[in-house]
Chains A and B, each alone.
Chain A
Amino acid sequence: MKLIINGEQQEIEAGTLSALLTALDYEGDWLATAVNGDLVPRTEREQVTLADGDRIEILAPKQGG
């Protein structure tokens, strides 16, 4: 399926958000996720199923002022 991950379109098969993170080799301890503009808490990533065209944001702590 086609997913837009952090602004880039990718062709990847993943049933859930949790499976997507694993497939892309994200280490999940310090990540925040959103799908189509809504927060997906870390405890709910396994329950969230993905569909063609979904927009996914995967964020991490960074330096900030």
Chain B
Amino acid sequence: MLTLYDTTLTSRLLLGTARYPSPAIMEAAIRASGTQIVTVSLRRETAGGGRGGQFFEVIKGLGVHVLPNTAGCHTAKEAVLTARMARDLFATDWVKLEVIGHHDTLQPDVFALVEAARELCADGFQVFPYTTADLVVAEKLLEAGCRVLMPWASPIGSARGLVDPAALVSMRAHFPDVPLIIDAGLGRPSHAAEAMELGYDAVLLNTAVAGAADPVAMARAFAAALEAGHAGYHAGLLEPRDMAVPSTPVIGKAVFA
């Protein structure tokens, strides 16, 4: 079981709702993944449009928790206002806090992130910060009032997987009691399994599922990988060795010469 801000969950997958080939495939992929949390955004609505409402009716019908994001915000001020608008609209204190600092890598601006997190936590938000694996930044986010941390594995949408596993191992070791969610950069089910084998609590995906040739099958594959990786971590993984260790006993071996 996973607990995020007093909400207990059985799934360890948080799934994005963007970039699917169609709304029907999005809905089927969400169901197939078994996720209990989906991310959504806020964007300008066209006069007389109502498309945002139609999209959200589909999400509401799935019976999952909604995690609004502040995607595309480049300053703390923008992110804080977007979070407040999201809370008014979605009636949730949860927010996936993104403050983007670099156009090419979509790396978080961790200085503005901490500033925004401080303001939002003080205002009663339950913040899920999209951050790096930097331990000092993580400490500042916890001091600000965050009770979940979401380090990236690699740049958003890059499908490169865990490019710096050592940093993620350090983060897990330094914050044993904080729920840690890998957010961004995963491309394959094996990446998700690897994250779980490092002791991470959950992963947040979007493009890896939505951009697959068969998003519904990929959603299922990620769910299976997460379960396998999580079970493997708790079963106690062997440490790698430099040399071979025979698995068949040597004692009792026949001598023929």
Residues on A with beta carbons closer than 8 Å to the beta carbon of B18: 63-65
Instruction: Bin the interface of chain B by size.
Output: 35 or more
B16 CB contacts on chain A under 8 angstroms: 63-65
A48 within 8 A of B: no
In the bound complex, CA of A58 to CA of B59 (Å): 20
- Asked if residues B43 and A62 are in contact (CB atoms below 8 Å), the reply is yes
Chain A CB within 8 A of B56 CB: yes
B42 near A60: Cβ-Cβ < 8 Å: yes
List which A26-64 residues lie within 8 A (CB) of chain B.
26-27, 29-34, 37-39, 41-42, 57-64
CB-contact partner of A32 in B19, B50, B71, B89, under 8 A: B89
Contact A26 B48 (CB under 8 A): yes
B114 → chain A, closest Cβ, in Å?
A: 21
Minimum CB–CB distance for A38 against chain B, Å: 7
Q: Which A residues lie within 8 Å of B55 (CB)? A: 61-63
- A39 close to B81 (CB less than 8 A): yes
Contact call A25/B89, Cβ cutoff below 8 A: no
Overall SS of chain B's interface: mixed
Chain A positions within 8 Å of B56 at CB level: 30, 60-61
Q: Is B51 an interface residue (CB 8 A)?
A: yes
Residues on A with C-beta less than 8 A from B90 are 61
A32 touches B88 (CB 8 A): yes
**Given the complex of chains A and B, what is the CA–CA distance between A29 and B88 in angstroms?**
11
A9 interface residue (CB < 8 Å to B): no
Knowing A29-B53, A32-B89, A34-B85, the reply to whether A65 touches B71 (Cβ < 8 A) is yes
Q: Are B88 and A65 in contact (CB under 8 A)?
A: no
Chain B residues with CB under 8 Å of A30's CB are: 50, 52-53, 56, 89
Residue of B nearest to A30 (CB): B53
**Interface readout for A1-42 with B: 1 if CB under 8 Å, 0 if not?**
000011100000000000000001111011111100111011
Instruction: List residues 37-81 of chain B with CB under 8 A from any CB of chain A.
Output: 39-45, 47-53, 55-56, 59, 68-69, 71, 77, 81
**Chain B residues in 8 Å Cβ range of A63:** 16-20, 26, 40-41, 55
A31-B71 in contact given A24-B47, A63-B55 (Cβ < 8 Å): no
Q: Which residue of B lies closest to A41 (CB)?
A: B88
**Using Cβ atoms and an 8 Å threshold, which residues of chain A touch B53?**
27, 29-30, 60-61
Q: Which 8 A-B pairs have the closest CB atoms?
A: A60-B52, A64-B41, A65-B16, A65-B206, A60-B45, A32-B85, A25-B48, A30-B53
- Could you show 8 A-B contacts with beta carbons less than 8 Å apart? A6-B45, A29-B53, A31-B45, A39-B85, A59-B85, A60-B45, A63-B18, A64-B42
Which B residues are closer than 8 A to A by beta carbons? 16-20, 26, 39-45, 47-53, 55-56, 59, 68-69, 71, 77, 81, 84-86, 88-90, 156, 206-207
